[in-house]
Amino acid sequence: MSQTIDTIDTGEAVDVDRLLAGAAKAIRSIRYCWLATAAEAGGARLRPMGRLPHQAGDDWTIQFVTDGRSRKVSEMRRSREVALVFQREADDAYVALSGTATLCAQQSEVRRRWKDAYNAYFPTEQDRANAVFVEVAVARMELWIRGLTPEPFGLRATVLEREGGGWRATA
């Protein structure tokens, strides 16, 4: 069943499920995204990240594996709030997500989740011993997806926020 909600500022009906499906489709087709963290001296730091494939049934937990010795991990330990930006120019699809990052550095869990393909990025035993899985639980998204978000395209973002177990459109 579709969740249709009136937007506060336009009075237009918004089909939240359709927007979520469009955002999930766009994200699945994009291999790399930008991860933004809060820099220690203020401001934001951005870096490209190759995300791990999403788990079936959970489009809104984005996962990465990275080096626990990296600056981004120390920044996420300080402030767990992060942002992710996905862009697919060919489709005019732009998705900005924000949420809370959780770090998993426990060696038994890292070993359980490890795949041989990660060895290319963690070539030594010491590198693998410092691997950390990052899970971002998405709480908010801003969407610009041609044909899905309101026209005129790009004038303003369509914003969805997680509320309890569901999502709602906000102004």
9 — pLDDT class (breaks 50, 70, 90): low
Flag whether 47 is in a domain.
no
pTM beyond 0.75:
yes
Convert the pLDDT of each residue in 92-107 to its tens digit: 999 999 999 999 999 9
Q: Is residue 46 part of a domain?
A: no
Instruction: Give me the number of domains the chain comprises.
Output: 1
Name the band, by pLDDT with cuts 50, 70 and 90, for residue 5: low
Q: Span 134-154, mean pLDDT?
A: 93
Write down the pLDDT at residue 135.
95
Residue 115 structural domain: 4-41+53-170
Q: Distance between CA 2 and CA 112 in Å, rounded?
A: 37
Helices (H), 12-57: 16-28
Helix or strand holding residue 72 (H, E): helix 71-78
Q: Is residue 48 part of a domain?
A: no
Residue 34, domain member (yes or no): yes
The answer to whether the bond into 152 is cis (omega within 30° of 0) is yes
Q: 24, 93, 15, 79: which is closest to 57 by C-alpha?
A: 24
CATH code for the domain of 17: 2.30.110.10
pLDDT over 90 at 56, yes or no:
no
The radius of gyration of the chain from alpha carbons, rounded to an integer in Å, stands at: 17
pLDDT band per the 50, 70, 90 thresholds, residue 40: confident
| CA gap 105, 75 in Å, rounded | 15
- Any domain includes 80: yes
Confidence check: pLDDT of 120 > 60? yes
